[in-house]
Structure 1
Amino acid sequence: MARLLLFVLLLMSLTAPARADDISASGRGVVRVVTIAVVDEKVVDFGHGSGFAVAPNRVVTNAHVVELAARYPDNVVVGIVPSEGDKSYEGKVIALDAARDLALIEFKGVNLPTLALYTGPVDEGGSVTALGYPGNVDIATARSAADYIRPLSPVRSEGVFSGRRTLTDIEVLLHTASIARGNSGGPLLDPCGRVVGVNSALTKSEEGDSSFGFAIADTELAAFLRAAKQPYAAVGVPCTSIADRLRQDSDADARAAADAQNAKLDAAGKVSAEREQALVKARADALRSSENYMAIAAVLLVLGALAVGGAGLLELRNERRMAIWVAVGGGTLFIAAVIVFLLRPTGEVTLPDLATAAAMPVAVNSEAALGKMVCTAVPERSRVTVSSTEPVAIDWGAAGCMNMRTQYAENGSKWDRILVPSEEQTVSILQFDPATRLYSNSRYLLSATQMDAARKIRSQVTLKACSPDIAARANLSTQQAAIRAALPPYPNEKIVYSCKAAD
């Protein structure tokens, strides 16, 4: 009973804050960057800005945020304060580009969720979001210096993209999202939470003029990371709503089902027409055969009548013995005529119902092994925010065994497996449909608290390797349903792959 109560409490703790918010998901990879200058064991300067993770242990920020640390590494400490957890970590500047106003910091102690760079076009007037730690908010809320190194979620502000400009020979994005000192180095995001720029400066507001923000453009950020030999995630597909994408998937499935049904109906119509032609021909053949039978019966009837007449003449001549034999032969001919007439074809022909057979669906054996396949992403059916869309190689074995080691559970005619990793802050629902050979990965980007709760539920899963035991797979399906029920209504990503047999 106590174990069941614990399970229910874990389920409630995961469900309560469940939201599919791309900006919040990206915010978990945003950090506060703090610099503390110390001379003769005395703090002589304190500064802070914002940054975001491009790798689990590396963050990007503005060069002017950590300029002192790069110039005086022995006297200036760089601190990385994540948006979650209860600790801050010491960092080290490993790359700096003063012209682009960008810097790369490395740290140890925790792995952060990484943000992806959007490499597609940004439409003027499109929505953008700034994330970071504006200093005016800190001044209003901070009670002590310790508040600057205490993990807090970043502040978000909404605006629109107003165009590309050049600032000191560097391409920048002009936008209306509200930023302040302290936002420097924080990301400017598109609605899917992908980085389109790095907030760096803002215009001065004089006599009531509106203020605008400047962000180092995506092109400059990409060039900086390449020069620093820092790999990064890049996504070029346009941002779409996950609800719209799932609705489009549903419509596509409905259209595919309708096309398949129409194909069956077309095939059935073709078979029906052929069947009618066969019936007409068969009836004509039967009619001709019936006429032949009737002609034979008429001949036999005439011959029988002649034989009876001949028997009468023989009787008149007193040739009784011969008369009897002729009369018997005539009667036999009469009987044969009747039998031939009764056995004649009627013209009614019955053929198998080929149209119905053509319309019957072909059964698919979902338990069968399909072997090694290469699965390629289908962009028009996918929604990508941070993940790679490189082809995926799979080996589909019998009874839902993936790659000879991971057991999937039945979900109708499809197979599901929910992955809850120990390191990443992501829950993935993997699904494979043997009938269509579509493989999908629905990814939920969760908070640290949600992930801890999901991992505790995952610990209840006992089936770790492939198994032919139906009961064990049914138990896996039940356990996975508990995790699925606790997830947000929509995933942050859904990548759909089309699989074909490997060469």
Structure 2
Amino acid sequence: MLRLFLSFAALLGLMVPTQAFADPADVDAAARGVVRVVIIGTDGTEVYPVSHGTGFAITSSRIITNAHVVREALQDDTLRIGIVPPEGNDSGFAKPIAVSPKNDLALIEIVGDLRLPALTISGNDGADSGEVSAVGYPMNVDRAQGLDLNDIFNSQPPVKSRGFISGRRPSRQFDSILHTAPIARGNSGGPLLDGCGRVLGVNSFGADSSGSDAEFFFAVSNRELIPFLRDNNVSAQINALPCRSLAELDDAEQQRIEREQTAARIELAQRTEADRMKRDRVQLEAELEVAEARENAMAIAFLLILLGAGAGVVAWKAQRRGEESDERILMIGGTISAIAIVSALALWFTRPGIEAIDHKVNAAMAGEDEDGGENASDPANGTLVCTLQVDRSRITGTPDEAIEFDWAEDGCVNGRTQYGVSAGTWSRVFVPNETDAVAINSYDPGSKTFRTDRFLLSRTAMAEARTTRGKYSPPKCGAVGAATSLGDMQGGVTALLPESPNERLVYSCEVKGE
């Protein structure tokens, strides 16, 4: 499903300008999984190298190389296939899994505990131009450095060279990519990378330049590699998205923010105008209602005054007559007169004033917001369902299309993982022991945006990050000052990281059930 999703996104991305130059950080990250493949012989007492080529990890334990690199080992059971990683001293052996001479591909598997970071294959094979990088172990460089065959058992970083794709050149045997990134003997089986460090093909051979012609080189294309992997049940990381630099992504993000701010200002102006018109309407209604209430109160007060006056006159006349039968009339008339006059005065002084208009307007406007109007708050806590935003992400692997987690306002995720807060940003730094990559997960409750930045580090840099991470224990959820304390603790690890990540995944979140 994700592969189809990424492929569809790639079609949309054809309208987006692609990166013009290779990113050295991405090529360096890919080089972590590029190994020297050594054919090893023995005379019973001494181990010696027979030949060597290059290979690259397609999974943590499986390596792609050329069929001609391992051909001697397949024909002579006294020879073994050795694997020398670019870093460390944990070299190992490998066994052949599948070999396809017709398209010069071989799949070998590491025997032992050595594990490598897998490279990602580019699923977009439509490009016929652009800068590329070849990574491998050319023998002419070894000779120039004064290294002999015995030295190749020592870990050394692979050589990187740049060139350009010159086009696709289907040969009589297999589909290939013609390019100008220099390769030599020993480069065979190494990857040809795009600007994002993704595999475009497997370097195989060069054209005979006769010492005067321009030099061109051939790589077995992914049209051959991907079916070969599929036929051998290898689940490789395939990414068909256009290659975008972080600078381009940041620029697009800035433009997006500016568009949103402009739209927000327009919406605010429209909302302000709508509120003004609504307030004017409510104001008019309130004025009419208060005016009517005032007029009614004054009219009733006037009638009560008349009633009180009439009752008073009747009582006064009864008193003037002074007859015994008039005493009851005097009492009733006086009482009615007093009550009417007091009620009239009360109505007069308690009739709605001009300030009642403002009270009614404010109450009416506030009542709409409290009932869930435009100004009602939108909670960012609870169970969140987050969807990958491909246009805002730099994807070099095959990430999850959607993730789900529980977020609490104190930065506790799923009730057990505390996030730290620093400079207003909630984040958690993950330094795994299984892979050579540091991930920083961050969440912005205001915009409900979840982001993962992945830094693909060398073994040396990863060891330093693990050592620094081992110096602190993250506080548990609910601990006093947990978020601020963790934010300070994580600073030691983040200070070791490069300025920019190799991969950035941006997710837009919604509260589940809304």
After TM superposition, the score normalised by the length of structure 2 is 0.79
CA distance in 1, matches of 2:415, 2:338: 83
Q: 2:246 aligns with which of 239, 242, 245?
A: 242
Contact 1:20–1:492 (Cα < 8 Å) also in 2: no
Deviation of residue 60 (structure 1)? 0.7
Matched residue type, 1:400:
G
CA distance in 2, matches of 1:218, 1:58: 17
CA distance in 2, matches of 1:92, 1:482: 41
| Cα 1:306/1:487, change in 2 over 3 Å | same
Q: 1:463 aligns with which of 458, 471, 474?
A: 474
1:96 aligns with 2:99: yes
Map 1:196-345 to 2 at 5 A: 196-206=200-210, 208-253=212-257, 255-256=259-260, 259=263, 263=267, 266-291=270-295
CA distance in 2, matches of 1:336, 1:422: 86
Q: Secondary structure at the match of 1:83?
A: coil
Map 1:53-72 to 2 at 5 A: 53-72=57-76
Contact 2:26–2:197 (Cα < 8 Å) also in 1: yes
CA distance in 2, matches of 1:499, 1:202: 50
1:425 aligns with 2:436: yes
CA distance in 1, matches of 2:431, 2:505: 17
CA distance in 1, matches of 2:131, 2:291: 79
Q: Secondary structure at the match of 2:102?
A: coil
Contact 1:187–1:195 (Cα < 8 Å) also in 2: yes
CA distance in 1, matches of 2:474, 2:92: 38
| Cα 1:447/1:271, change in 2 over 3 Å | same
Counterpart residue number, 2:426: 415
Contact 2:415–2:477 (Cα < 8 Å) also in 1: no
Deviation of residue 179 (structure 1)? 1.3
1:490 aligns with 2:495: no
Q: Secondary structure at the match of 1:55?
A: coil
Q: Deviations over 1:120-168 (max 9, x none)?
A: 1442321111111122211211333332222111111111112111112
CA distance in 2, matches of 1:440, 1:346: 56
CA distance in 2, matches of 1:293, 1:496: 64
Deviation of residue 488 (structure 1)? 1.0
| Cα 1:301/1:89, change in 2 over 3 Å | closer
Counterpart residue number, 2:80: 77
| Cα 1:217/1:209, change in 2 over 3 Å | same
Counterpart residue number, 1:31: 35
Deviation of residue 301 (structure 1)? 8.5
| Cα 1:33/1:500, change in 2 over 3 Å | same
CA distance in 2, matches of 1:420, 1:189: 27
Query: Which 5+ residue runs of structure 1 have no aligned equivalent?
Result: 1-18
Over the matched positions of the two proteins, sequence identity in percent amounts to: 36
CA distance in 2, matches of 1:338, 1:45: 116
CA distance in 2, matches of 1:40, 1:335: 126
Deviation of residue 213 (structure 1)? 1.0
CA distance in 1, matches of 2:482, 2:26: 36
Matched residue type, 2:458:
S
RCO higher in structure (CA 8 A, sep ≥6): 1
CA distance in 1, matches of 2:415, 2:351: 66
Contact 2:380–2:448 (Cα < 8 Å) also in 1: no
Contact 2:420–2:482 (Cα < 8 Å) also in 1: no
Q: Deviations over 1:213-250 (max 9, x none)?
A: 11100110111111222221111111111233234345
Counterpart residue number, 1:184: 188
Counterpart residue number, 2:20: none
Deviation of residue 291 (structure 1)? 4.9
Contact 1:418–1:427 (Cα < 8 Å) also in 2: yes
1:380 aligns with 2:380: no
Counterpart residue number, 1:16: none
Counterpart residue number, 1:161: 165
CA distance in 2, matches of 1:216, 1:144: 29
Counterpart residue number, 1:10: none
| Cα 1:412/1:362, change in 2 over 3 Å | farther
Q: Secondary structure at the match of 1:478?
A: helix
After TM superposition, the score normalised by the length of structure 1 is 0.81
CA distance in 1, matches of 2:506, 2:201: 28
CA distance in 2, matches of 1:448, 1:55: 17
Q: 1:193 aligns with which of 180, 194, 197?
A: 197
CA distance in 1, matches of 2:239, 2:214: 32
| Cα 1:290/1:457, change in 2 over 3 Å | same
Contact 2:125–2:200 (Cα < 8 Å) also in 1: no
| Cα 1:285/1:67, change in 2 over 3 Å | same
| Cα 1:433/1:337, change in 2 over 3 Å | closer
Deviation of residue 355 (structure 1)? 6.1
| Cα 1:297/1:423, change in 2 over 3 Å | closer
Deviation of residue 54 (structure 1)? 0.6
Contact 2:282–2:364 (Cα < 8 Å) also in 1: no
Q: Secondary structure at the match of 1:95?
A: strand
Q: Secondary structure at the match of 1:431?
A: strand
Q: Deviations over 1:284-311 (max 9, x none)?
A: 3434455556666777889999999999
CA distance in 2, matches of 1:143, 1:231: 37
Q: 1:479 aligns with which of 463, 472, 489?
A: 489
- In the alignment of these two chains, the number of paired residues is 477
Matched residue type, 1:73:
D
Q: Secondary structure at the match of 2:58?
A: strand
- With 45-54 and 339-348 compared, the bigger mean Cα shift is at 339-348
Deviation of residue 77 (structure 1)? 2.1
Map 1:346-365 to 2 at 5 A: 349-350=357-358, 351=360, 352=362, 362=377, 364=379
Q: Deviations over 1:304-361 (max 9, x none)?
A: 999999999x9xxx98999xx999x999999998887776656662131766867767
Q: Deviations over 1:361-389 (max 9, x none)?
A: 737465xxx24x55432211211113433
